[in-house]
Amino acid sequence: MRKKIALIGGGQIGQILAMLAAQKEMGDIVVLDIPDYVNPVKGKALDLMEMAPHGNYDAEITGTSDYKDITGADVVIITAGLPRKAGMTREDLLSTNIKIISAVAAGVKENAPDAFCIVLTNPLDAMVYTFHKLTGFPKNQVVGMAGTLDTARYRAFLSMELGVSVTDIAGTVLGGHGPTMVPLPRLTTVGGVPLTDIADQDLIDRVVDRTRKAGTEIVQLFGKGSAFFSPAWSAIVIAESYLKDKKRVLPCAALCEGEYDVSGLFIGVPCLIGAKGLEKIFEISLSDDEKAKLQVTKEKVQATVDECNV
């Protein structure tokens, strides 16, 4: 029997998620959206079924607004919620998206209580916190997709600046999904060569700054709406590591209980993702400067979570 992937939200990111999951034959795909948008998601699902002969994939892809249709899902990926428009911060979405995430949490809890859940809705760290709190799911079953995207952006910008293959750049980004995130140049390598040996401080500062503002750069270009290709791919990487027990080490927003001196908050940390979901959080020995930056991002995430009041 095929695996089942439930996508809650069939907008910009949801539709790319559906296409990637189909092309990768990750399983059958159900795209759930609000009743007012159910026909467009049914249409998108049908369009993807009709792409299958050329895409060479076998999958049943359906659109729905009924949570019963996600029953038995192995993975649930949540993008339901408003995206940013130019001039907005992720936190500006809080009051609307918290209501949406609350409804989604109820639907997922009732119909797919064993699924591995990946939250993308912004403000990410607060929305994954809320989803986890309202479902009461074990911490290994819920992660937020943020660091995987932030690290991809960091690697992409380094590749552009250095003129080297992006595949040879390894590094990670810790912290909240926003301008306070903490890229770690000290631990970044290019084909095994330390970044700090081959790049000057100006270049590193430029890339770190661009990474922190990368989501906003895209929002400003789009005008209305936020990034969708790269967030979708980042979530697929996490889902695939779970479904195939690949045990990839990916930066995700995970519930920390003492790690990095963080307790009771979801924050971006290096996570081992395998068949048991979040199997381990790796702790890095940080420098004093990195610790101070992590403290700033932690306070920012805490302030947003405090506003959630759930």
Q: Which residues are catalytic?
A: 177
Structure tokens at 284: 């890095």
Q: Which is nearer to ligand APR, 94 or 272 (CB)?
A: 94
Element (H, E) at 303: helix 288-308
Q: Given the rule CB under 6 A, which of 2-10, 156-164, 181-189, 202-210 is the region that contacts ligand APR?
A: 2-10
Q: Given the rule CB under 6 A, which of 98-106, 234-242, 254-262, 301-309 is the region that contacts ligand APR?
A: 98-106
Structure tokens at 30: 């159900």
Element (H, E) at 16: helix 12-23
Residues contacting 305, CB < 8 A, separation 6+: 125, 126, 129, 265
CA atoms within 13 A on the CB side of 248: 16
Alpha helices by DSSP H, 115-200: 124-135, 147-162, 195-198
| Whole-angstrom distance, CA of residue 264 vs CA of residue 210 | 29
Task: Please identify which residue in 171, 175, 176, 231 interacts with ligand APR, judged by CB under 6 A.
Answer: 231
185 binds ligand APR (CB under 6 A): no
Find the shortest distance in angstroms from Cβ 27 to ligand APR: 20
14 binds ligand APR (CB under 6 A): yes
Find the shortest distance in angstroms from Cβ 263 to ligand APR: 26
44 binds ligand APR (CB under 6 A): no
| Whole-angstrom distance, CA of residue 84 vs CA of residue 258 | 32
Q: At what angle do helices 288-308 and 124-135 cross, to 10 degrees?
A: 60
- Kindly tell me the number of DSSP H helices and DSSP E strands found in the chain: 10, 14
33 binds ligand APR (CB under 6 A): yes
13 binds ligand APR (CB under 6 A): yes
226 binds ligand APR (CB under 6 A): yes
Write the DSSP symbol of residue 267: E
Q: Given the rule CB under 6 A, which of 32-40, 47-55, 134-142, 283-291 is the region that contacts ligand APR?
A: 32-40
120 binds ligand APR (CB under 6 A): yes
Find the shortest distance in angstroms from Cβ 211 to ligand APR: 16
10 binds ligand APR (CB under 6 A): yes
Q: How many CB atoms lie within 10 A of CB 228?
A: 20
Q: Which is nearer to ligand APR, 213 or 247 (CB)?
A: 213
Residues contacting 291, CB < 8 A, separation 6+: none
Find the shortest distance in angstroms from Cβ 185 to ligand APR: 26
Q: Which is nearer to ligand APR, 121 or 241 (CB)?
A: 121
Find the shortest distance in angstroms from Cβ 41 to ligand APR: 7
104 binds ligand APR (CB under 6 A): yes
Structure tokens at 127: 């929305």
Residue ranges binding ligand APR (CB under 6 A): 8-14, 32-34, 37, 79-84, 93, 97, 100, 103-104, 120-122, 225-226, 228, 231
